[in-house]
């Protein structure tokens, strides 16, 4: 499939990159592709993110219906974050991103030499 309607296509590129871009959003989504995770699990696995940043990013992803906050137990309260059905669709895209990155890591990710 080709990119039809150039102008519209390019606007969509920017829109999608809004969702997945930034320092953390893509990583959060990638981690949630594997399985649902609790707040502090995400915090641990996303090395160095702060609580306030993680909260902000999760709220954003909830707002756009990519991620769902689910109370899975109260007393003591346990909350998990998972991709919505719709959010699951991002998995394929993330696979494509990783594939491209793996193929091209040598040419692109070298800072030295």
Partner DNA sequence: AACACAAGTAGTTTTTAAGATACTTAATGC
Partner DNA sequence: GCATTAAGTATCTTAAAAACTACTTGTGTT
Binding site for DNA (CB under 7 A): 22-24, 38-41, 48-53, 55, 57, 69, 74-80
Minimum distance of its own copies from residue 100's CB (angstroms): 5
Of 37-76, binders to its own copies (CB under 8 A) are: 64-66
Region of 4-12, 36-44, 48-56, 75-83 interacting with its own copies (CB under 8 A): 4-12
In the complex with DNA, the residue whose CB is nearer, 24 or 90, is: 24
Q: Is 51:43 a contact under the CB 8 Å cutoff?
A: yes
b/e string for 12-42 if b means 16 or more Cβ within 10 A?
A: eeeeeeebbeeebbbbbbbbbeeebbebeeb
Residues counted in the chain = 113
């Amino acid at each position: 499939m080709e990119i039809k309607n150039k102008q519209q296509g390019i606007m969509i590129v920017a829109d999608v990159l809004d969702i997945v871009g930034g320092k953390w959003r893509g990583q959060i989504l990638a981690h949630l592709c594997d399985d649902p995770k609790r707040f502090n699990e995400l915090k641990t696995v996303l090395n160095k993110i702060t609580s306030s940043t993680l909260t902000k990013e999760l709220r954003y992803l909830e707002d756009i219906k990519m991620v769902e906050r689910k109370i899975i137990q109260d007393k003591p309260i346990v909350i998990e974050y998972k991709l919505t059905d719709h959010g699951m669709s991002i998995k394929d895209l993330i696979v494509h991103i990783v594939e491209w990155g793996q193929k091209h890591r040598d040419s692109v990710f070298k800072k030295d030499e």
